[in-house]
Chain A
């Protein structure tokens, strides 16, 4: 898992969040390692992000994914890159 791959995934996820929220004011203020819940992302927002990630990265979420994976932009990006092997 290279740093470049993770950073590219982070930026892609930020782009998806920007699309979901209609502007980047919210997203630009969220650090990579901040809890999305604590940043103000609702369950509805999280579901929309997960659906958007499936389309953008070409994978399907699994019910068994560990709760910590969904915590932050960082953890989501790490999961995406890990799936690619």
Chain B
């Protein structure tokens, strides 16, 4: 079976890509493709900016898609001190300033849905809407997410990065994708996972992911339109709880993706992009 031209992209960085200066001593690697309303993707500590090329082709035909590497990850600046959530939020705003983007939709996934929430609360004028794919929020708190992260961190520290992948894969990948891809799918994604991350980056990311305010009351203060994209096989939330979670946001809505897991854009990039396009179209119609 020939490899589809659409997916003939790799995880390599554009060597000549400019960097965005966001804070003193911090320059972020970024990619900006397409024109129009901006959609800014927030990595979840496991992904790098180039990864998104395979999941955003359709979006970038209609909008401006911005992806970037967090400070201390991938091709962005390395500091001796791991950034706080507040500094990551400041980097988002610094990136928007550098790219002359007045306001943007933020697309968070797993741990970075927390960052999307924080940016929306701290800088509401810069956020047109939120897309939360596989959110880490619960109806009463975030204990389940924190426990999951602690277990992953323990595996990483004790057994290494390949063991962490073995641990995570059946938890975050939907059962359908697991069976459909079989061992080649498992091994192919493992190769990408190990290419995108160092153990040190993952330890820092998994440690930070256990910090921050877990209060569900915060969600009721998010004024931006919010779309929750939830796989019906997500490890953290059932479809029913996803809808209940969306109801905590003043302008929240939940879309369930069948046969998808905690990272639904991996299971079905086409449907994911269709949902995001529809959400942006509807949100823009009400501006």
Instruction: Give A contacts to B, CB under 8 Å.
Output: 19-22, 37-38, 40-48, 50-52, 54, 60-63, 65, 67, 70
Q: Which residue of B lies closest to A53 (CB)?
A: B184
A50-B184, A51-B184, A62-B183 as given contacts; A43 in contact with B2, CB under 8 Å:
no
| Nearest CB of B to A58, in Å | 15
Q: Is the pair A48, B191 in contact by a Cβ cutoff of 8 Å?
A: no
A62: B residues at CB distance < 8 A = 183
B2: A residues at CB distance < 8 A = 19-22
| CB 8 Å contact bits of B186-200 with A (1 = contact, 0 = none) | 111111101100000
Q: Which of B7-15, B33-41, B99-107, B108-116 contacts A (4 or more CB under 8 A)?
A: B7-15
A11 CA to B184 CA, complexed, in Å:
21
Q: Which residue of B lies closest to A66 (CB)?
A: B162
- A37-B11, A44-B54, A47-B189 given; name 10 further pairs at CB < 8 Å: A21-B3, A42-B3, A42-B54, A45-B3, A48-B3, A50-B188, A51-B1, A54-B184, A67-B162, A67-B194
Q: Is the pair A42, B10 in contact by a Cβ cutoff of 8 Å?
A: yes
Q: Which 7 A-B pairs give the minimum distances between C-beta atoms?
A: A47-B188, A50-B184, A43-B192, A44-B7, A61-B183, A46-B188, A43-B188
| Nearest CB of B to A11, in Å | 20
Partner of B9, one of A20, A22, A42, A51: A42
A43: B residues at CB distance < 8 A = 11, 54, 188-189, 191-192
Interface status of B4 (Cβ within 8 A of chain A): yes
A47 CA to B185 CA, complexed, in Å:
6
Interface status of B18 (Cβ within 8 A of chain A): no
Total number of residue pairs linking A and B with CB closer than 8 Å: 73
Partner of B3, one of A44, A54, A63, A65: A44
A-B residue pairs in contact (CB < 8 Å), sample of 21 = A41-B10, A42-B7, A42-B9, A42-B11, A43-B54, A43-B188, A43-B191, A44-B3, A44-B188, A45-B7, A45-B8, A47-B181, A47-B184, A47-B188, A47-B189, A50-B184, A61-B183, A61-B187, A62-B183, A67-B191, A70-B187
A19: B residues at CB distance < 8 A = 2
A20 CA to B4 CA, complexed, in Å:
9
Most chain B CB atoms below 10 A, which of A19, A45, A65 = A45
Q: Is the pair B187, A63 in contact by a Cβ cutoff of 8 Å?
A: yes
B188: A residues at CB distance < 8 A = 43-44, 46-47, 50
B183: A residues at CB distance < 8 A = 50, 60-63
A38 CA to B189 CA, complexed, in Å:
15
Partner of A37, one of B4, B7, B195: B195
Partner of A65, one of B7, B54, B187, B189: B187
